[in-house]
Structure 1
């Protein structure tokens, strides 16, 4: 425009030409090591396979939260329970019987924390405290959802899977399969595995690699009082690297540095040792949510705290630190005018538009974009004690994108980061639900002083939940 010309600036409508590569997808296997066939978009159909490691569900229950109960809704929910059980069985999840307990509650129960707690405790007791999953049918999106997750996962210790009433009226096979994928991950199963392992030339036969992800969820911009929520996740198996555990902490409002990173990393490393009878010799740590101006903070403060924490338990792994970014304006298009649509999954660009001075960084479009223009993820390798080659790191990141538990296609962001984001958001729900209950109680008291939140008050995961993928 005219203003740009006055400053001597000019632009062009021509796009920058870059050289890209398309990585080969990994070989995946389902039940009985059956090889999974991928289509042109790197997706696979569950109708042709059973899950790699389905967990039997011996005790389940179902509760519906609807504004009124009639024969139509009762029949809908009963039929849904039968169809979900049948679909789970088709993909390998054995459910011993129809829901051991089937309850119908008014949707107002979600707004009454005490009543909701009594309901969940009663269901758990009726199932002899062996309940593996509680399917919750909710009439509509309700603010009580956060209270339900808070009570079930931090107070009672019940794994829940929620679904909307509108979606269960005529549930198709894909919807039921998606529910089954999430349920299997939550109860400790594995949906798909890589036939060819992630091992690289720098990883010996007896060496393990632990992948970790971290993110911070901040309150809304105008909220100056609520804490930020930090989350760290880590893989608990090798070489499959598809089972995760998570740690959540609250910290000061809008603070990006993860304050309790060292403590969370220690607990995850110890849990890895407990599961595998050894520590992982190598750690690949993915950090989400930081801008380039915060790279020094990640290197000088967070990385240092992590290494110090590991050393305090006599654990000294070699660490690779990668920052994952999605908030950028770079888009990739095919140069061939005869080909329409987005770049294919696995497209890598690591020349010309990357920051050579900052070390290795690359753009990876790992997913298929059905609608709109695909946005690649931008990965920056800030620290690499493992001396992985660029090809190895790029292949590892891309391969991991196929292991996300919720779907049958590669996702747009490496799962350790994706899961860390989900866990941080779950922590936000815990805080909001906790605050809602305590604000109502404090408003009814005679005290006129404003309520202040202390980080020690942040809800802790129940012992029945904390070692599971409750965020799956």
Structure 2
């Protein structure tokens, strides 16, 4: 690996801020911790495993003194070196019931030096001291998670105080994230406010009625097959207690059963029903025997009316679109309120974390500072921007935004013909005509000749309707050739994700005609700013250039590449992950080609990188008469810190090999065998930067005068020391007006011409050339993964996640079937920014 660049940049004015990190002081050497493994028997649920270990420590206080910490899986850390052996743990008062045997085996010793090396310059080597960091995480989280009833290895806990009822039997809860972060020269705890949907605790029947939008429990007697499937999917895995149970321990729902009271099973050699069993065994007549029940364990069927949902169970699926706006409103906090909530939770009146009282933290000789850490960063200069027929203008808005009223496109595309199709029955004809007139005025620079045909069509036959209007908008060219519409404007109902997907599949994959969807409730306002923003997207989709920034972003001959992997929703293992790559093909980084593919779910390494990168390089060479880029800057999105080293190093090696093997092309884009694109030893310079947005590090200005209009740090705020990684050169950049910035880690810096300031500046400048925005954005290169979901046929979007066949209890995934169904975007679309 090349020598890391200087950590400290010189551009921009300094700015003092607070961060949501708290300094850990090691008061004295904590001594060694002994790592024990091989917890036996293996327990699938970490909370249950923790209960067993906790009971073991309670029953053997002389041996476990001080108390050991346990991660809920296999790893136990103790001060004692004499715990090897097998222990019997009784989890029930009934003779012969609830007996567990726990086997502990010494694995290694974690010394204070292991912890010190985490903070040393260069950091720990690959794989080294990972267990030391795991130990610190468990020590910090143990008391807090025990207090709030969450799994011992949970990174966040949630509290019901301040919760809000939501649709579908869900509630929105506030919570707190915590993580130990070793940085250069110190240990920090990163604490952040988080929010989640949880299943509404209490009666299971009440949750079911809320989900199905029923107001009377008797309405659960009759549930349609479709609603029953939906309810089963919604409740599967939810932990419930049974009112007749002696233990009160929660058990997960495996399945649902209709008419639970009438469900028959064999008992004492005779057939009986669930209803009769509860009357005879528990003297409990069922009030609603015809409603559904739940299957728990191997074959137990419990009536829903006897089940209670345990509190604090996170809803781990994708947030339903219909409650997205309400959940966002619940989760949104002003920056100063967010910081106050964090400080109160750590050291104020709430004291939710127990850092000061935790015996686990105290035994580790750790002291957590009560005050949020103050750090110093810089604010990078905001670039100047240019539109057509004007000079470069300074962006003066503190939010990093600018206005495009009365501006012209820098390079207009061409619209010889276009069309408007209406799939919204409630769209008034006069409003559609007004929209067409406003769009025509804003798009005059694109060469619009006539008014577009505009018609209402059946949304349930989207493809046929689009074919019809495309044919009606087709015109004859000067040489008699047929010219299809350059763009079709599609007016959709307010909430129609399936219809939008069908439109994009038709445009991107089937016909290769760009589409611009407008949602009801948005376009009817017909204000200039909204229409101008639509015009920006349209021009970019046609291959035009809206604007550029001053000074150039990259030297001529350089390509900027963005790579990403989009994974299916939480817990989904029967849908593939989607890979994508975008690459700039001009010096201003305003035009990109885009490619995508599919691979095994939840695999982070990009398996089709060779195909996508080769195609991108081919497009670059066709654009520049056979010349290939002399340097390439890769922005790799979506890699967690745990996979950073593996992914970055393997992908960099893969990239180099792809470039070595790449053939030169002719004017038609076909490879010339025997002629390599790069001669041996003359590969382009590579800069590989991992971009992380899902971190929890936040920055808070000290005063309103130093903040933007929303109370956040101004766009361009950057931190490249004090709290940065001990091993890799990295930096935090808040490129847009928002609470969350991006974290950039540079894993390989081959180009000597790129010092720390140059690639930091490049990252910030790239956030100002996103074609569909008139403000700085959060990412330096466009993303395509979400759009690639439209490349599947519609029937692939409705498959149940639990219908996959299984082998040895694990889902079998048929990648070939998904790959065959995945259709690449039409060639002309990959050359245009159709994904905007």
Q: Which band: TM-score by shorter chain? A: 0.7 to 0.9
- Aligned equivalent of 2:712: 342
State which drifts further: 335-344 or 129-138: 335-344
Alignment partners' CA distance in 1, 2:696 and 2:799? 42
Match among 429, 447, 450 for residue 790 of structure 2: 429
Change (3 A) 1:33 1:269: farther
Q: Contact 2:792–2:821 at 8 Å: present in 1 too? A: no
Which residues in structure 2 correspond to 1:170-319 (within 5 Å)?
170-199=525-554, 203=555, 207-238=556-587, 240-277=588-625, 278-313=627-662, 314=676, 315=678, 316-319=683-686
8 Å contact 2:457–2:465 — kept in the other structure?
A: no
SS of the residue 2:563 aligns to: strand
- 4+ runs deviating over 4 angstroms: 1-4, 123-127, 336-340, 436-439
1:64-79 equivalence runs, <5 A: 64-67=422-425, 73-79=428-434
d(CA) in 2 for partners of 1:16, 1:253:
39
Matched, 1:392 2:749: no
CA, structure 1 residues 462+217, in 2 after alignment: closer, same or farther (shift >3 Å)?
same
Bigger relative contact order, structure 1 or 2, given CA contacts below 8 A and separation 6+?
1
Mapped to 1, the partners of 2:742 and 2:434 lie a distance apart of: 42
Map of 2:359 onto structure 1 = 6
Distance 1:235 1:2, change over 3 A: closer
Tell whether the 8 Å contact from 2:383 to 2:395 is kept in structure 1 after alignment: no
**Deviation for aligned residue 1:121:** 5.6
User: Shift of the alpha carbon at 1:218?
Assistant: 1.0
Distance 1:122 1:197 in 2: 42
Secondary structure of 2:697's partner? coil
Report if aligned partners of 2:423, 2:493 keep a CA contact under 8 Å in 1: yes
Shift of 1:411: 0.8
- The worse-fitting range, judged by mean Cα deviation, of 163-172 and 426-435 is 426-435
Contact 1:46 1:177 in 2 (8 A): yes
Structure 1: tracts of 5 or more residues without a match:
440-449
CA positional deviation for 1:437: 9.1
Structure 2 counterpart of 1:444: none
> What's 1:134 paired with?
488
Tell me: CA distance 1:191–1:426, structure 2 relative to 1, closer, same or farther (3 Å). Answer: same
2:391 to 34, 40, 64: 34
Q: Are 2:576 and 2:818, in contact at CA under 8 Å, matched by a contact in 1?
A: no
Are the structure 2 counterparts of residues 329 and 184 from structure 1 closer, same or farther at C-alpha, using a change threshold of 3 Å? Answer: same
Partners of 1:434 and 1:33 lie apart in 2 by 49
Aligned residues: 436
Q: Deviation per CA, 1:170-196, whole angstroms, max 9, x where unpaired?
A: 311111011001001100111111221
Distance (whole Å) between structure 2 residues aligned to residue 28 and residue 376 of structure 1 = 22
Q: In structure 2, what is the Cα distance between the partners aligned to 1:40 and 1:125?
A: 43
Partner Cα separation in structure 1 for residue 649 and residue 392 of structure 2? 44
Could you tell me whether the CA contact under 8 Å between 1:36 and 1:44 is conserved in 2?
Answer: no
Aligned to 1:147: 502
- Return the match for 2:439 from 68, 81, 84: 84
Answering whether residue 25 of structure 2 is matched by residue 25 of structure 1, we say no
- CA RMSD in angstroms comes to 2.4
**Residues 32 and 16 of structure 1, relative CA distance in 2, 3 Å threshold:** same
* Mapped pair 1:413 → 2:779: yes
Structure 2 gap ranges (5+):
1-352, 477-481, 663-675, 801-812
Query: Is contact 1:262–1:310 with CA below 8 Å preserved after alignment?
Result: no
Distance 1:279 1:33, change over 3 A: farther
- Matches of 1:120 and 1:466 in 2, distance apart? 23
Matches of 1:26 and 1:262 in 2, distance apart? Answer: 34
- State the distance in 2 between where 1:170 and 1:304 align: 52
Larger of the two Rg values belongs to structure = 2
SS in 1 for 2:373: coil
Post-superposition offset of 1:168: 2.6
Q: Give 2:831's match in structure 1, choosing from 461, 464, 467.
A: 467
SS, match of residue 383 in structure 1: strand
For 1:458, which of 822, 830, 833 is the aligned residue? 822
Q: C-alpha separation between the residues in 2 aligned to 1:244 and 1:274?
A: 14
Deviation at 1:56, TM superposition (A): 3.0
SS at match of 1:140: coil
**Whole-Å separation in 1 of the counterparts to 2:514 and 2:660:** 35
Give the SS at the match of 1:18: strand
- Other structure's SS at 2:590 match: coil
* TM-score (normalizing by structure 2): 0.50
Offset of residue 123 of structure 1:
4.4
Q: Name whichever of 79-88 and 292-301 sits farther off.
A: 292-301
Q: Distance in 2 between matches of 1:134 and 1:275?
A: 27
**Maintained 8 Å contact 1:219/1:228:** yes
Shift, 1:166, TM fit: 2.4
- In the other structure, the counterpart of 1:442 is none
TM-score by length of 1: 0.86
Change (3 A) 1:124 1:301: farther
Give the Å deviation of 1:6: 1.0
SS in structure 2 of the partner of residue 287 of structure 1: strand
Kept after mapping to 2: 8 A contact 1:186/1:470: yes
Aligned counterparts of 2:405 and 2:704: Cα–Cα separation in 1: 36
- Superimposed CA distance per residue, residues 186-212 of structure 1 (whole angstroms, 9 cap, x where no aligned partner): 00111111221124xxx5xxx411000
Q: Secondary structure at the match of 1:381?
A: strand
2:578–2:596 CA contact under 8 A, matched in 1: yes
Distance between the aligned counterparts of 1:94 and 1:39, measured in 2? Answer: 32
SS of equivalent to 2:596: strand
In 2: Cα distance, 1:189 partner to 1:118 partner: 25
Alignment match, 2:337: none
Tell me which residue corresponds to 2:196.
Answer: none
CA 1:38/1:10 → structure 2, altered by over 3 Å: closer, same or farther? same
Q: 1:357 to 1:95 in 2, by over 3 A?
A: same
- Shift of the alpha carbon at 1:116? 4.5
Q: 1:135 to 1:333 in 2, by over 3 A?
A: same
